[in-house]
Chains A and B, each alone.
Chain A
Amino acid sequence: RKEVEQDPGPFNVPEGATVAFNCTYSNSASQSFFWYRQDCRKEPKLLMSVYSSGNEDGRFTAQLNRASQYISLLIRDSKLSDSATYLCVVIGMFSGGYNKLIFGAGTRLAVHP
């Protein structure tokens, strides 16, 4: 089983739609969670952190379910500019006693007019 798994998509949605992505992780000791966004041929950039209580930033809402070991990202009122690949990132303590960032393979979103 992969350490972090995401549906690769693509998700093709019209402008204004609401779309949700899920990401599952295998290490129950994982401590921190993030969503990154990667535009075509660019570097990944932090979109938002994911807190235990859930958090919202404008049209974006992130949630964490520790019991089921998944995080989610909800995008409301999709814009054309939201078209990108969304990467789930997990930080956890691994054998050897170090923290390590693990990236999911990403979910591709395409918003069309």
Chain B
Amino acid sequence: NAGVMQNPRHLVRRRGQEARLRCSPMKGHSHVYWYRQLPEEGLKFMVYLQKENIIDESGMPKERFSAEFPKEGPSILRIQQVVRGDSAAYFCASSPIGHSNTEAFFGQGTRLTVV
């Protein structure tokens, strides 16, 4: 059973470009969380998704950021018109549906660098 897969592991974008980060949850998991971690800081919650449904996006910046988790395929975190402040590690975690006592499993993260 493969773990949570994130790609790319490293992504370099110029200011103004778009960044697309992908996350494939563990097999059988239908809940996905996205977190951002700035250097020397803690994890900051961004968005919580179920397949085809955004459950909680209270941590997402109002502009330029969007996330989806389609019925087929990975979850995508999309950042439009990137700025230097978007440089961070973006982690995805997945958990099974309906289990309130089950931990989440993390991918290895995507490190975005905006130049």
Contacts and interface: CB of A to CB of B under 8 A. Distances in A.
Leading 9 A-B pairs by shortest Cβ distance: A105-B42, A43-B106, A32-B101, A106-B42, A99-B100, A103-B43, A46-B103, A31-B100, A34-B103
Interface of B: 33, 35, 41-43, 45, 48, 55-56, 89, 91, 93, 95, 100-109
A2 to B, nearest CB: 11
A54 interface: no
Contact of A87 (B43, B45, B101): B43
A49 interface: yes
A87 B89 CA distance: 17
Contacts of B55: 96, 98, 100
A44 interface: yes
Nearest to B111: A41
A98 B42 contact: no
A49 B103 contact: yes
Contacts of A20: none
A45 interface: yes
Given A87-B43, A98-B56, A103 B103 contact: no
Contacts, number: 56
Contacts of B43: 44, 87, 103, 105-106
A89 B101 CA distance: 11
A43 B108 contact: yes
Contacts of B103: 34, 46, 49, 89
Contacts of B101: 31-32, 49, 91
10 contacts: A31-B101, A44-B43, A44-B93, A49-B101, A91-B100, A98-B48, A98-B56, A100-B48, A101-B95, A103-B42
A102 B59 CA distance: 12
Contacts of A93: 100
A45 B109 CA distance: 12
B56 A43 contact: no
A39 to B, nearest CB: 12
Contacts of B42: 8, 85, 87, 103-106
Contacts of A100: 48, 55-56
